[in-house]
Amino acid sequence: MNTFSVNNNGVWFRSMSNKGIVAWVLGVILTGFYVLLYFFPYLLGQGSGGAPNTGIIALFDPLSYALKGKPASQWFLYGTLYTVAILGFGVKFLRKYRHNKYEILRTISVMFFQLGFAFLLPEILQKLNKPYYDFKNMWPLNYYFFDAYSLEGYLSSGTIGLFMLVWGLLMIFVISPILTYYFGKRWFCSWVCGCGGLAETAGDSFRHLSDKSIKAWKIERWVIHSILVFVVVMTIGVLYSYVYDHPDKLLVTRNYLTITFLTVLALAGVFIGSSFFKGIQKADRRKALIAIGAIMALVVVAHLGNQKNILFIDNGLLRQWYGFFIGAIFSGIVGVGFYPILGSRVWCRYGCPMAAILGVQQKLFSRFRITTNGGQCISCGNCSTYCEMGIDVRAYAQKGENIVRASCVGCGVCSAVCPRGVLKLEGSAFDISDRVLV
């Protein structure tokens, strides 16, 4: 039958999409795969100490040689499967949403960025003996950007290395805020990002499993912002270590570094604290300022005490913990492994520090919002149900209020499934400070 609206028939009846046995089996398989990948790569056939690959990984050797002239690794295997998943399920998504041009363009975009920017380009760079670099990724999602080995890589790779370093900084401090101002965080989270790309395509069958309760929203805000604070502290520590350990490598001295940190943090504080930007509640503003103040205090204490370690424990250890608990367990094992049980955007919603930063920007100063069309809402709940971020869209729509939420990744599915044409993703600079109000 040739239909032209989104077909969600039977979504809650199928074992796969309603946490049935099939879903649990898939969850266990996915989780198991991540455990092997992160902790037991030799079981996947990863050769160590120069030994050739065997098993599954060996199957990917030919492709790896073709791309970069080196044998495959578990990360090459992962990258290839990840890309295949986004492309394959992307095609499925394109079919399901074929009558919605926004969804079509957005999906082609995530497929393109995954294949070109996340997969092919970094491999080609490696072939050319340049550092591995994903130009669309940025700190803090790319938390190893400021690691010693990354910095060494950029600094020892001539002009292109320097460009990578500058590009990375520009992405964080200039390009992403500007794009978020114009388009909301969706420009990254649902058009470009690889985690988002996988969630939107392979995870689409599980988007409705996100928890919509007010309690989940509370937990979300605490967890995601705690991780943001953690990654900031960890990164400051890692940079301090680098400067301490390589006093003559950079023009940057410890003094410079401290001044830079304090300046950036103070700016962020003024920015968030200033009442010019509406949209954040007083209590949340206070919490943010306390967190920023605490980090600044840590920087000052470390500096005055001539301490290398920011949290009185080895910075390297902090970095290891972050990589293990957040980078591996949260974003991989829980984030993707639990797709069939917790929904597709668990990492993006509760964990991703990049999403946290872009979310604050979106809430404070973006043109973006989801407009509610006057009084046309019938409170049916399709929008809330299919919101992968667990936003209770209906709660706003039925009151005729626009939706401006830090977590909204702008996937557009609420608007696509609304049977009354009530929701529209759009932007304007006309009323940024009071776009929350009707």
| List of residues contacting other proteins (CB under 8 A) | 1-5, 8-14, 100-102, 105, 213-214, 371, 373-376, 378-382, 384-385, 394-395, 398, 412, 415-417, 419-421, 424-431
DSSP-based three-state secondary structure for 368: strand
Give the separation between CA 235 and CA 230, rounded to whole angstroms: 8
SS (H, E, C) 385-426: HCCCCCCCHHHHHCCCCCECCCCCCCCCHHHHHCCCCCEEEE
- DSSP class of 52: P
Residue with tokens 């954040």: 280
**Distance, CA of 300 to chain centre:** 30
Strand 368-372 and strand 423-427: the pairing is antiparallel
**Residues paired with residue 370 on neighbouring β-strands, in sequence order:** 403, 425
Give the separation between CA 107 and CA 105, rounded to whole angstroms: 5
Give the separation between CA 366 and CA 179, rounded to whole angstroms: 9
Q: Which of 417, 412, 410, 414 is nearest to 396 (CA)?
A: 414
Q: Which of 366, 391, 344 is nearest to 93 (CA)?
A: 344
Give the separation between CA 136 and CA 165, rounded to whole angstroms: 13
Give the separation between CA 178 and CA 168, rounded to whole angstroms: 15
User: Residue 32 has which token pair?
Assistant: 């198991």
- Residues 88/167, Cβ–Cβ less than 8 Å: no
Scored b (16 or more CB within 10 A) or e, 181-196 reads bebbbbbbbbbbbbbb
Phi, psi of 420 (to 5 degrees): -125, 10
**Residues paired with residue 368 on neighbouring β-strands, in sequence order:** 427
For the chain, what is the total number of helices (H) and then of strands (E)? Answer: 21, 2
Give the separation between CA 344 and CA 208, rounded to whole angstroms: 8
**Residues paired with residue 424 on neighbouring β-strands, in sequence order:** 371
Q: Which of 256, 280, 302, 434 is nearest to 363 (CA)?
A: 280
